[in-house]
Amino acid sequence: MADAVAHGLRKHGHTVDVVGDGRLALEQLDQTEYDVVLLDRDLPGVHGDVVCERITEGGHPARVLMLTAARSVDERVDGLRLGADDYLPKPFDFAELVARVEALSRRPAVRKDAPLRVGDLVIDPGRRTVTRRGRPIELTLKEFGVLVELAQEPGAVLSAEHLLERVWDENADPFSIAVRVTMVGLRKKLGDPGVISTLRGVGYRLDRPAE
């Protein structure tokens, strides 16, 4: 079921990682910052309730959507008291699952929701918009994700591996040319003068364009 849900969410443009037990979930949360965690309550290894508590008590910015066979009001209230942001009992309608995930993803931490300004570029992660000199620029999901990563640390060099990990998912081929191809389209859409530099063998950098 987890693989089927992940496949469906990817088709809707989301980047998804899948783990099969609570211990691996906690390890993954230590390595990657997520917008939303779709959490089965009855996980093997470490129970989903414990994972939920660790997320909320550990200060993780992720929103938690708890997915479980528990249907009684008391059980749902227990899940919300553990810190879950939303609760969806099985069986569920996939369209509703997507709607709830997307609703949660639109409520990120404040620091992620604030517009990023780099010279004449304005990137708004909350609204998924980009403008340059006031002109709106339409980007694909991957182009937008790459630009946000670069804009969070203007002047810093980010490797292709870093961008693959943050914008794609764990199934991405580390030898893929996806980053290079995405960068070509992104540069073209951002226009002249160019603002993304390539350091051969090292990575990519967003330079501060003129105001």
Instruction: Show pLDDT as tens, one digit a residue, over the chain (211 residues).
Output: 889 999 999 988 888 999 989 999 988 888 888 889 999 888 888 988 889 888 877 667 788 898 877 655 566 566 566 778 888 888 888 999 999 898 888 765 434 457 888 888 999 887 788 999 889 999 988 899 899 999 988 888 999 888 888 887 656 665 668 888 999 999 999 998 889 999 988 899 998 765 5
Q: What does the pLDDT read at residue 17?
A: 92
The answer to whether 2-110 and 114-206 have equal CATH topology is: no
Burial 19-30 (b: 16+ CB within 10 A, else e): bebbeebbeebe
- How is residue 103 written in tokens? 């609703």
- The domain segmentation of the chain, as residue ranges, is 2-110, 114-206
Domain 114-206 has CATH 3.65.10.10: no
User: H or E element: which one contains 123?
Assistant: strand 121-124
Q: What does the pLDDT read at residue 70?
A: 60
Phi-psi region of 29 (alpha: psi -120 to 50; beta: other; left: phi over 0): alpha
Q: How many CB atoms lie within 10 A of CB 109?
A: 14
Q: What does the pLDDT read at residue 86?
A: 84
Separation CA 121–CA 137 (nearest Å): 10
Q: What does the pLDDT read at residue 112?
A: 46
2-110: CATH number: 3.40.50.2300
What pTM was estimated for this model as a whole? 0.52
Peptide bond into 91 cis (omega under 30): yes
